Amino acid sequence: MGPLALVNARLFDPTSGRDETGALLVVDGRIAAVGADAAARLPAEAERIDCRGHLLMPGLVDMRAQLREPGEEHLENLTTASQAAAGAGVTTIVCLPNTNPVIDDAAVVEFVRRRGRDIGLVRIHPYAAATKGLQGKELTEMGLLAEAGALGFTDGTRAIASAGVMRRALGYARTFDLLVLQHPEEPTLSHPGGMNEGEVATRLGLPGIPSVAETILVERDLRLVEVTGARYHAAHLSTAGAVAAVRAAKRQGLSVTCDTAPPYFALSETAVGDYRTFAKLSPPLRSDGDRRAVVEGIADGTIDAIASDHAPHDQDSKRLPFSSAAAGIVGLETLLPLTLELAHQGLVPLRRALDAVTGAPARILRLDCGRLAAGAPADLALVDLDRPWRIDVDAFRSKSKNSPFDGRPVQGKALMTVLGGRIVHRATD
């Protein structure tokens, strides 16, 4: 693979604040030079690509996705997820352990990593289960799983509900300086609810999930972090109370990070409409006040990252009565345009919005990616910030089409995706 020169690009690196027009040189899969240094060093034999002034940024790092392989390949597999991600400017995915078998064994960790390398379209890293079989009782061998390549420990879409188990998990993780991730939804308060507790749920006659189900578990965990000193990450925050709790914990100096997902800043509970199951998520879509609090949390850095929360389901799992339908939506192919909405609407500066899907998740997970700098892997996305288009689930590369955003007009599209200096996607339209 010869050198690659990307010229006439708007070089945009949220981590360093770089925002300039120039060139980027790739040699042997890594960034050799960027900006003025690259312009002065472009070798004659390099393949040159004119970026036509479009934004060249680090490839997106999606720190929370369900990829369904092994075990549920009819919903999604590592190949189709990789194709969906590459087409959307995502170069790194971290997948949840709720597969079949569960990723609670080093052999399964190694299987996922090897399959990702063999496919070669994106970098795929697994989380491992925090408890054996995701049962919330007995801890997994975190040290051995981390050696095998697990980036963190979580029970996926299940909360670690027991305070005693969570304290032991945090204590064990602290010994090895590992990350514990929580799905913050207190199960005795959230079951059997299907949507946010409030006026809309009452009108529809649906059991509700109160916002305190999230806040209580976050606040409990933060007290345990205070005791153990462990690294803790709260996933897909959806409530004003949880955002406020994390903000206070950060001011206190605790080792805590968090993320949210696009539905929680782009939609509210009204999207459920008349029992629209494609808008059923876990945690559920919340009130507009909660939605605004999530946006504010992203803007001020309380919410570190934005993840796709990709959860593929087939039509049979969604076309059921609301209370029986599966929770979750696909998100890989809408992560970039929905994040860009925050900037286009003037709600979040462009640098902060794009850092939430590049540098911030890379820093949380201690990955060597998410930045435009000499020596960094050449994992890149070339983006037309202003390209108008309409989300069309029928055009998704993902096997599943369960998205509440079908038909939504958006701005911003990945024109090209580069992984380790190889072009893995080019837009054809």
Q: What is the pTM of this model?
A: 0.97
Same domain? For 247 and 274 the reply is yes
Dist. CA 55–CA 414, nearest whole Å: 10
Same domain? For 158 and 258 the reply is yes
Question: 386 an active-site residue?
Answer: no
* Active-site position among 13, 104, 309, 379: 309
Same domain? For 201 and 253 the reply is yes
Candidates 429, 331, 415, 427; CA nearest to 57 is 415
257 close to 225: Cβ distance less than 8 angstroms: no
CATH of residue 297: 3.20.20.140
Same domain? For 173 and 39 the reply is no
157 close to 183: Cβ distance less than 8 angstroms: yes
Same domain? For 13 and 144 the reply is no
335 close to 306: Cβ distance less than 8 angstroms: yes
CA 419 remoteness from chain centre: 18
370 close to 362: Cβ distance less than 8 angstroms: yes
Candidates 54, 60, 136, 74; CA nearest to 102 is 136
What letter represents residue 173's amino acid? A
Candidates 306, 99, 305, 285; CA nearest to 208 is 285
74 close to 320: Cβ distance less than 8 angstroms: no
Same domain? For 125 and 269 the reply is yes
Show which of 327, 342, 365 is a domain's final residue.
Answer: 365
**Tens place of pLDDT per residue across the chain (429 aa):** 789 999 999 999 999 999 999 999 999 999 999 998 888 888 889 999 999 999 999 999 999 999 999 999 999 999 999 999 999 999 999 999 999 999 999 999 999 999 999 999 999 999 999 999 999 999 999 999 999 999 999 999 999 999 999 999 999 999 999 999 999 999 999 998 899 999 999 999 999 999 999 999 999 999 999 999 999 999 999 999 999 999 999 999 999 999 999 999 999 999 999 999 999 999 999 999 999 999 999 999 999 999 999 999 999 999 999 999 999 999 999 999 999 999 999 999 999 999 999 999 999 999 999 999 999 999 999 999 999 999 999 999 999 999 999 999 999 999 999 999 999 999 987
Backbone angles phi and psi of 321, in degrees to 5:
-50, 145
Domain that holds residue 104: 59-365
Q: Provide the 3-class DSSP secondary structure of residue 187.
A: helix
The residue whose two tokens read 């890594």 is: 30
46: left (phi over 0), alpha (psi -120 to 50) or beta: beta
Same domain? For 351 and 409 the reply is no
Same domain? For 285 and 208 the reply is yes
Candidates 148, 239, 226; CA nearest to 189 is 239
